Structure 1
Amino acid sequence: RSFLITATAAMISEELRERIIKWHFEQEKSVEEIAELVGCTDHTIYKILALYREFGQVTNPHARPRGRPRALDMTMLNYISSLLDANPTLYLDEIQEKLLEVHDLD
């Protein structure tokens, strides 16, 4: 059983969004291929492509930031996922310790 986290559009960095545009328009990768590379759904890729078509950029210039900033980014979430895949019986404090060792967190 895998705990892999699927990225939502809000979780994908601007740099990765720009790479998505290049993959699609320059390298002619399909939406399905890109979604698999990024670790998200086809719908998320379609949303990013629609933003690019509508605004000429990978983010909505009119959108206001929503909610509290995330405590963990996708790299950290995927690290936790791989830890749990390798050892599903880890306790929360052990996961926290390993996360602190790898990522400089306070």
Structure 2
Amino acid sequence: MEFDISEKLAMVHLIDSVIIADGEVHKGEINALTKLMTIIDFDSNFLIQARNIDLEQSVKILKNMSVSKKSSLAKILEDVAISDGHFHEKENEIIRHVFSEIGVSKKA
């Protein structure tokens, strides 16, 4: 699936937010992020840029994505959240907030 540059920025911002939500970056999360760099097509410089936008900007961009793109994002965020073997409550809060804002129902 192809995402435009603003969608990628918003998605990477959220992925990063989920990874750092519990205050620890786990090996599984780094592995998941590395895989996503190939899938979504971004690099570490792009990650730095994504950190400069805030959550509400991300939500605004993601709200306008197609249903299929939102579904892809939902799967990605849930995979990242459990990639360290534990679905932390802070990760869950971020994902729940974003899903409710952009109109995605939570699976997990």
Q: Same fold (TM over 0.5)?
A: no
Q: TM-score with structure 1 length normalisation?
A: 0.31
Larger radius of gyration: 1
Q: TM-score with structure 2 length normalisation?
A: 0.31
Structure number with higher relative contact order (C-alpha < 8 Å, ≥ 6 residues apart): 2
Return the structure number with greater helix share.
2
